[in-house]
Copies of this chain bind each other. A is one copy, B any other.
Amino acid sequence: MAEKVLMRGNNAMAEAAVRAGCRYYFGYPITPQNDVPEYLSGRMVEVGGTFIQAESEIASIYMVLGASAAGGRVMTSSSSPGISLKQEGMSFLAGHELPAVIANVVRGGPGLGNIAGSQSDYFQMTRGGGHGDYRMIVLAPGNVQEMADLTYLAFDLADKYRTQSIILADGMMGNTMEPVILPEMRALDSLPDKDYVVDGMRGKRKSRARLSLILEPKELEDHNWKLQRKYKQIQENEVRYEEYELDDAEMVIVAFGTAARVAKGAIRRARAEGLKVGMLRPITLWPFPSDVVRQLADRVKEFLVFELNAGQMIEDVKLSLEGSANVNFYGRPGGSIPTPRDLAKVIINRYSQKFRLI
Protein backbone atom coordinates (compact mmCIF):
# COMPACT_ATOMS: atom_id res chain seq x y z
CA MET A 1 0.00 0.00 0.00
CA ALA A 2 1.16 3.47 -0.82
CA GLU A 3 2.44 5.75 1.87
CA LYS A 4 0.48 8.48 3.51
CA VAL A 5 1.40 12.02 2.58
CA LEU A 6 0.20 15.23 4.13
CA MET A 7 -1.60 17.07 1.39
CA ARG A 8 -3.88 19.96 0.89
CA GLY A 9 -7.29 19.04 -0.51
CA ASN A 10 -6.73 21.03 -3.67
CA ASN A 11 -3.36 19.42 -4.31
CA ALA A 12 -4.64 15.94 -3.56
CA MET A 13 -7.31 16.53 -6.16
CA ALA A 14 -4.79 17.80 -8.68
CA GLU A 15 -2.39 14.92 -8.14
CA ALA A 16 -5.22 12.38 -8.31
CA ALA A 17 -6.24 13.88 -11.65
CA VAL A 18 -2.75 13.33 -13.03
CA ARG A 19 -2.78 9.78 -11.71
CA ALA A 20 -6.15 9.17 -13.34
CA GLY A 21 -4.56 10.00 -16.67
CA CYS A 22 -5.48 13.64 -16.95
CA ARG A 23 -2.91 15.36 -19.14
CA TYR A 24 -4.80 18.52 -20.03
CA TYR A 25 -5.66 21.17 -17.54
CA PHE A 26 -7.01 24.58 -18.41
CA GLY A 27 -7.80 26.99 -15.64
CA TYR A 28 -7.77 30.47 -14.28
CA PRO A 29 -6.76 31.61 -10.79
CA ILE A 30 -9.40 32.20 -8.19
CA THR A 31 -9.25 31.77 -4.46
CA PRO A 32 -9.78 29.28 -2.77
CA GLN A 33 -8.61 26.86 -5.45
CA ASN A 34 -5.39 28.49 -6.64
CA ASP A 35 -3.35 25.51 -5.52
CA VAL A 36 -4.82 23.48 -8.33
CA PRO A 37 -3.42 25.53 -11.21
CA GLU A 38 -0.27 26.27 -9.25
CA TYR A 39 0.37 22.62 -8.58
CA LEU A 40 -0.43 21.51 -12.09
CA SER A 41 1.62 24.22 -13.80
CA GLY A 42 4.66 22.37 -12.60
CA ARG A 43 3.31 18.85 -12.51
CA MET A 44 2.05 18.81 -16.09
CA VAL A 45 5.51 19.74 -17.29
CA GLU A 46 6.89 16.74 -15.38
CA VAL A 47 4.43 14.29 -16.92
CA GLY A 48 4.50 15.78 -20.40
CA GLY A 49 0.97 17.12 -20.16
CA THR A 50 -0.50 20.47 -21.00
CA PHE A 51 -1.15 23.20 -18.50
CA ILE A 52 -2.61 26.47 -19.71
CA GLN A 53 -3.56 29.38 -17.56
CA ALA A 54 -6.26 30.67 -19.85
CA GLU A 55 -7.30 34.27 -20.22
CA SER A 56 -10.55 33.54 -18.37
CA GLU A 57 -12.76 30.81 -17.00
CA ILE A 58 -14.74 30.92 -20.21
CA ALA A 59 -11.72 30.32 -22.37
CA SER A 60 -10.70 27.45 -20.07
CA ILE A 61 -13.98 25.62 -20.33
CA TYR A 62 -13.84 25.82 -24.12
CA MET A 63 -10.24 24.64 -24.17
CA VAL A 64 -11.57 21.72 -22.13
CA LEU A 65 -14.22 21.16 -24.76
CA GLY A 66 -11.60 21.13 -27.51
CA ALA A 67 -9.21 18.77 -25.75
CA SER A 68 -12.06 16.48 -24.77
CA ALA A 69 -13.44 16.37 -28.31
CA ALA A 70 -9.96 15.33 -29.34
CA GLY A 71 -10.01 12.47 -26.83
CA GLY A 72 -8.00 13.73 -23.87
CA ARG A 73 -8.74 13.29 -20.20
CA VAL A 74 -9.17 16.88 -19.26
CA MET A 75 -9.94 18.99 -16.25
CA THR A 76 -10.63 22.50 -15.17
CA SER A 77 -11.28 23.93 -11.74
CA SER A 78 -12.55 27.16 -10.33
CA SER A 79 -14.65 28.61 -7.57
CA SER A 80 -18.18 29.98 -7.55
CA PRO A 81 -17.99 33.17 -9.70
CA GLY A 82 -15.67 31.41 -12.11
CA ILE A 83 -18.01 28.43 -12.28
CA SER A 84 -20.91 30.74 -13.09
CA LEU A 85 -18.92 31.96 -16.06
CA LYS A 86 -18.54 28.41 -17.28
CA GLN A 87 -22.26 27.68 -17.41
CA GLU A 88 -22.61 28.16 -21.12
CA GLY A 89 -19.64 25.91 -21.78
CA MET A 90 -20.96 23.27 -19.42
CA SER A 91 -24.25 23.24 -21.28
CA PHE A 92 -22.26 22.80 -24.50
CA LEU A 93 -20.26 19.92 -23.06
CA ALA A 94 -23.56 18.29 -22.11
CA GLY A 95 -25.02 18.89 -25.57
CA HIS A 96 -21.88 17.69 -27.31
CA GLU A 97 -21.76 14.70 -24.93
CA LEU A 98 -18.15 15.21 -24.04
CA PRO A 99 -16.52 14.00 -20.84
CA ALA A 100 -14.74 16.42 -18.53
CA VAL A 101 -13.94 16.81 -14.87
CA ILE A 102 -14.73 20.16 -13.33
CA ALA A 103 -13.96 21.09 -9.76
CA ASN A 104 -15.88 23.80 -7.96
CA VAL A 105 -14.19 24.77 -4.72
CA VAL A 106 -17.13 26.79 -3.51
CA ARG A 107 -16.79 30.12 -1.71
CA GLY A 108 -19.36 32.35 -0.07
CA GLY A 109 -21.78 34.07 -2.42
CA PRO A 110 -23.64 35.62 -4.08
CA GLY A 111 -21.54 38.03 -6.10
CA LEU A 112 -17.95 38.48 -5.05
CA GLY A 113 -18.93 37.17 -1.62
CA ASN A 114 -15.91 35.89 0.23
CA ILE A 115 -13.35 33.13 0.08
CA ALA A 116 -14.55 31.03 2.97
CA GLY A 117 -15.96 27.56 2.45
CA SER A 118 -19.60 27.35 1.46
CA GLN A 119 -22.08 25.00 -0.17
CA SER A 120 -24.30 27.53 -1.82
CA ASP A 121 -23.66 26.29 -5.37
CA TYR A 122 -25.65 23.10 -4.78
CA PHE A 123 -28.50 24.14 -7.05
CA GLN A 124 -26.15 25.38 -9.73
CA MET A 125 -24.32 22.09 -9.82
CA THR A 126 -27.19 19.62 -9.39
CA ARG A 127 -29.82 21.37 -11.51
CA GLY A 128 -27.54 22.62 -14.22
CA GLY A 129 -26.86 26.31 -13.92
CA GLY A 130 -26.64 26.42 -17.68
CA HIS A 131 -29.47 26.35 -20.17
CA GLY A 132 -31.28 23.27 -21.33
CA ASP A 133 -32.17 19.91 -19.84
CA TYR A 134 -28.97 18.31 -18.68
CA ARG A 135 -27.44 16.83 -15.59
CA MET A 136 -23.93 16.22 -14.41
CA ILE A 137 -22.50 13.75 -11.94
CA VAL A 138 -21.76 15.74 -8.79
CA LEU A 139 -19.32 14.21 -6.32
CA ALA A 140 -18.97 15.76 -2.88
CA PRO A 141 -15.82 14.67 -1.06
CA GLY A 142 -15.99 14.52 2.72
CA ASN A 143 -12.29 14.82 3.43
CA VAL A 144 -8.94 15.13 1.70
CA GLN A 145 -8.72 11.42 1.04
CA GLU A 146 -11.96 11.64 -0.87
CA MET A 147 -10.76 14.71 -2.71
CA ALA A 148 -8.23 12.35 -4.23
CA ASP A 149 -10.40 9.24 -4.53
CA LEU A 150 -13.46 10.88 -5.99
CA THR A 151 -11.39 12.87 -8.47
CA TYR A 152 -9.82 9.64 -9.62
CA LEU A 153 -13.27 8.12 -9.96
CA ALA A 154 -14.64 11.22 -11.65
CA PHE A 155 -12.55 10.66 -14.75
CA ASP A 156 -13.77 7.11 -15.18
CA LEU A 157 -17.37 8.10 -14.73
CA ALA A 158 -16.98 10.98 -17.14
CA ASP A 159 -15.61 8.69 -19.80
CA LYS A 160 -18.10 5.93 -19.10
CA TYR A 161 -21.12 8.15 -19.59
CA ARG A 162 -19.62 10.86 -21.77
CA THR A 163 -20.64 13.38 -19.17
CA GLN A 164 -19.22 16.00 -16.90
CA SER A 165 -18.18 14.94 -13.43
CA ILE A 166 -18.19 17.71 -10.91
CA ILE A 167 -16.08 17.71 -7.78
CA LEU A 168 -18.06 19.90 -5.42
CA ALA A 169 -15.74 20.93 -2.63
CA ASP A 170 -15.50 24.12 -0.64
CA GLY A 171 -12.83 26.56 0.43
CA MET A 172 -12.14 24.76 3.65
CA MET A 173 -11.98 21.30 2.13
CA GLY A 174 -9.70 22.57 -0.59
CA ASN A 175 -7.29 24.19 1.82
CA THR A 176 -7.21 21.68 4.63
CA MET A 177 -4.24 19.35 4.75
CA GLU A 178 -4.64 15.78 5.88
CA PRO A 179 -2.75 12.55 5.48
CA VAL A 180 -3.81 10.92 2.26
CA ILE A 181 -3.01 7.78 0.34
CA LEU A 182 -2.81 8.66 -3.29
CA PRO A 183 -4.29 6.39 -5.95
CA GLU A 184 -1.90 4.66 -8.29
CA MET A 185 -0.68 6.21 -11.50
CA ARG A 186 -2.71 4.98 -14.46
CA ALA A 187 -0.81 4.10 -17.60
CA LEU A 188 -2.16 6.23 -20.42
CA ASP A 189 -2.53 3.23 -22.66
CA SER A 190 -4.84 1.59 -20.14
CA LEU A 191 -7.44 4.29 -20.61
CA PRO A 192 -10.65 3.34 -22.41
CA ASP A 193 -10.88 3.82 -26.16
CA LYS A 194 -13.20 6.47 -27.49
CA ASP A 195 -14.88 6.06 -30.82
CA TYR A 196 -16.40 9.50 -31.14
CA VAL A 197 -13.23 11.51 -31.09
CA VAL A 198 -12.43 14.25 -33.54
CA ASP A 199 -8.76 13.79 -34.34
CA GLY A 200 -8.49 13.96 -38.11
CA MET A 201 -9.73 11.37 -40.56
CA ARG A 202 -6.19 10.17 -41.36
CA GLY A 203 -7.44 8.39 -44.46
CA LYS A 204 -9.10 5.83 -42.23
CA ARG A 205 -12.63 6.95 -41.76
CA LYS A 206 -15.25 9.45 -42.80
CA SER A 207 -15.26 12.92 -41.40
CA ARG A 208 -16.87 13.43 -38.04
CA ALA A 209 -18.38 16.33 -36.21
CA ARG A 210 -19.07 16.85 -32.55
CA LEU A 211 -21.95 19.23 -32.14
CA SER A 212 -25.02 20.32 -30.24
CA LEU A 213 -26.86 22.38 -32.86
CA ILE A 214 -29.83 20.33 -34.00
CA LEU A 215 -32.16 22.68 -35.77
CA GLU A 216 -35.07 20.31 -36.27
CA PRO A 217 -37.08 20.27 -33.02
CA LYS A 218 -38.01 16.64 -33.37
CA GLU A 219 -34.37 15.65 -33.72
CA LEU A 220 -33.28 17.82 -30.84
CA GLU A 221 -36.08 16.28 -28.82
CA ASP A 222 -34.76 12.82 -29.63
CA HIS A 223 -31.28 13.92 -28.66
CA ASN A 224 -32.69 15.15 -25.38
CA TRP A 225 -34.50 11.92 -24.65
CA LYS A 226 -31.29 10.10 -25.39
CA LEU A 227 -29.56 12.27 -22.84
CA GLN A 228 -32.36 11.62 -20.39
CA ARG A 229 -31.99 7.87 -20.81
CA LYS A 230 -28.32 8.22 -20.05
CA TYR A 231 -29.10 10.26 -16.95
CA LYS A 232 -31.56 7.59 -15.91
CA GLN A 233 -28.83 4.99 -16.22
CA ILE A 234 -26.53 7.08 -14.09
CA GLN A 235 -29.25 7.41 -11.49
CA GLU A 236 -29.61 3.66 -11.45
CA ASN A 237 -25.93 2.83 -11.26
CA GLU A 238 -23.96 5.57 -9.68
CA VAL A 239 -25.61 6.61 -6.44
CA ARG A 240 -23.03 6.82 -3.67
CA TYR A 241 -23.50 7.69 -0.02
CA GLU A 242 -22.20 7.01 3.46
CA GLU A 243 -24.30 5.81 6.36
CA TYR A 244 -23.13 6.93 9.76
CA GLU A 245 -24.59 5.60 12.99
CA LEU A 246 -27.91 4.93 11.32
CA ASP A 247 -28.66 1.51 12.76
CA ASP A 248 -30.63 2.66 15.75
CA ALA A 249 -31.10 6.27 14.76
CA GLU A 250 -34.35 8.04 15.57
CA MET A 251 -33.25 11.20 13.87
CA VAL A 252 -31.28 11.44 10.65
CA ILE A 253 -29.02 14.27 9.71
CA VAL A 254 -28.55 14.67 5.97
CA ALA A 255 -25.37 16.54 5.14
CA PHE A 256 -22.55 16.44 2.63
CA GLY A 257 -18.96 17.57 2.34
CA THR A 258 -17.63 19.82 5.05
CA ALA A 259 -21.06 20.00 6.65
CA ALA A 260 -21.08 16.22 7.02
CA ARG A 261 -17.68 16.40 8.62
CA VAL A 262 -18.92 18.86 11.19
CA ALA A 263 -22.07 16.79 11.60
CA LYS A 264 -20.08 13.70 12.55
CA GLY A 265 -18.53 15.62 15.40
CA ALA A 266 -21.93 16.89 16.44
CA ILE A 267 -23.44 13.42 16.30
CA ARG A 268 -20.66 12.06 18.52
CA ARG A 269 -21.55 14.74 21.03
CA ALA A 270 -25.25 14.08 20.76
CA ARG A 271 -24.73 10.35 21.14
CA ALA A 272 -22.60 11.03 24.17
CA GLU A 273 -25.74 12.58 25.64
CA GLY A 274 -27.70 9.49 24.75
CA LEU A 275 -29.49 10.76 21.67
CA LYS A 276 -30.00 8.28 18.87
CA VAL A 277 -28.84 10.37 15.97
CA GLY A 278 -27.24 9.23 12.76
CA MET A 279 -26.34 10.67 9.41
CA LEU A 280 -26.85 9.99 5.75
CA ARG A 281 -24.09 11.60 3.74
CA PRO A 282 -24.81 11.78 0.02
CA ILE A 283 -21.52 11.41 -1.82
CA THR A 284 -23.16 11.78 -5.19
CA LEU A 285 -25.35 14.88 -4.95
CA TRP A 286 -26.56 14.04 -8.37
CA PRO A 287 -27.65 11.30 -8.71
CA PHE A 288 -29.11 11.95 -5.26
CA PRO A 289 -29.64 8.90 -3.04
CA SER A 290 -33.39 9.41 -3.09
CA ASP A 291 -34.30 5.78 -2.60
CA VAL A 292 -32.10 5.52 0.44
CA VAL A 293 -33.71 8.55 1.99
CA ARG A 294 -37.15 7.25 1.14
CA GLN A 295 -36.41 3.86 2.68
CA LEU A 296 -34.97 5.42 5.80
CA ALA A 297 -38.29 7.15 6.27
CA ASP A 298 -39.88 3.77 6.72
CA ARG A 299 -38.42 3.70 10.18
CA VAL A 300 -37.16 7.19 10.94
CA LYS A 301 -39.61 10.06 10.96
CA GLU A 302 -37.36 12.93 11.85
CA PHE A 303 -34.86 14.43 9.44
CA LEU A 304 -32.59 17.39 9.82
CA VAL A 305 -30.89 18.71 6.73
CA PHE A 306 -27.74 20.61 7.51
CA GLU A 307 -26.10 22.65 4.80
CA LEU A 308 -23.60 25.47 4.56
CA ASN A 309 -26.13 27.55 2.67
CA ALA A 310 -29.66 28.87 3.05
CA GLY A 311 -31.35 25.61 2.09
CA GLN A 312 -30.82 23.86 -1.22
CA MET A 313 -30.26 20.12 -0.82
CA ILE A 314 -33.30 20.14 1.40
CA GLU A 315 -35.36 20.19 -1.78
CA ASP A 316 -33.88 16.87 -2.83
CA VAL A 317 -34.53 15.44 0.60
CA LYS A 318 -38.13 16.60 0.48
CA LEU A 319 -38.52 15.32 -3.07
CA SER A 320 -37.27 11.96 -1.84
CA LEU A 321 -39.49 11.86 1.22
CA GLU A 322 -42.69 13.06 -0.44
CA GLY A 323 -44.12 13.96 2.90
CA SER A 324 -43.27 10.62 4.51
CA ALA A 325 -41.23 12.13 7.33
CA ASN A 326 -40.69 15.39 9.07
CA VAL A 327 -37.83 17.54 7.76
CA ASN A 328 -36.13 20.45 9.41
CA PHE A 329 -33.34 22.59 8.14
CA TYR A 330 -30.33 24.16 9.71
CA GLY A 331 -28.10 26.20 7.47
CA ARG A 332 -25.32 28.73 7.51
CA PRO A 333 -24.81 30.67 4.31
CA GLY A 334 -22.02 33.09 3.51
CA GLY A 335 -19.02 31.03 4.55
CA SER A 336 -19.94 30.61 8.18
CA ILE A 337 -19.09 27.13 9.40
CA PRO A 338 -20.56 26.18 12.73
CA THR A 339 -18.56 24.11 15.18
CA PRO A 340 -19.62 20.55 15.96
CA ARG A 341 -20.69 21.90 19.32
CA ASP A 342 -22.98 24.54 17.76
CA LEU A 343 -24.56 21.94 15.56
CA ALA A 344 -24.89 19.50 18.44
CA LYS A 345 -26.93 22.13 20.26
CA VAL A 346 -29.26 22.45 17.31
CA ILE A 347 -29.60 18.69 17.07
CA ILE A 348 -30.23 18.24 20.77
CA ASN A 349 -32.75 21.02 20.71
CA ARG A 350 -34.69 19.57 17.81
CA TYR A 351 -34.42 16.09 19.16
CA SER A 352 -35.75 17.05 22.55
CA GLN A 353 -38.66 18.94 21.07
CA LYS A 354 -39.57 15.96 19.00
CA PHE A 355 -38.99 13.19 21.45
CA ARG A 356 -39.89 15.13 24.56
CA LEU A 357 -36.69 14.49 26.38
CA ILE A 358 -35.82 16.48 29.43
Contacts and interface: CB of A to CB of B under 8 A. Distances in A.
A340 interface: no
Interface stretch (A15-23, A110-118, A185-193, A235-243): A110-118
A342 interface: no
Interface in A56-110: 58, 80-81, 83-85, 87-88, 91-96, 106, 108-110
Interface stretch (A249-257, A265-273, A275-283, A317-325): A317-325
Chain A interface bracket (under 10, 10 to 19, 20 to 34, 35 or more): 35 or more
Interface in A199-232: 211-225, 227-228
A121 interface: yes
A333 interface: yes
A303 to B, nearest CB: 13
Interface stretch (A35-43, A125-133, A138-146): A125-133
B114 A124 contact: no
Given A84-B87, A228-B333, 15 more contacts: A58-B85, A87-B87, A95-B110, A95-B113, A96-B111, A110-B128, A110-B130, A112-B212, A115-B215, A116-B217, A121-B132, A124-B127, A217-B334, A224-B333, A318-B322
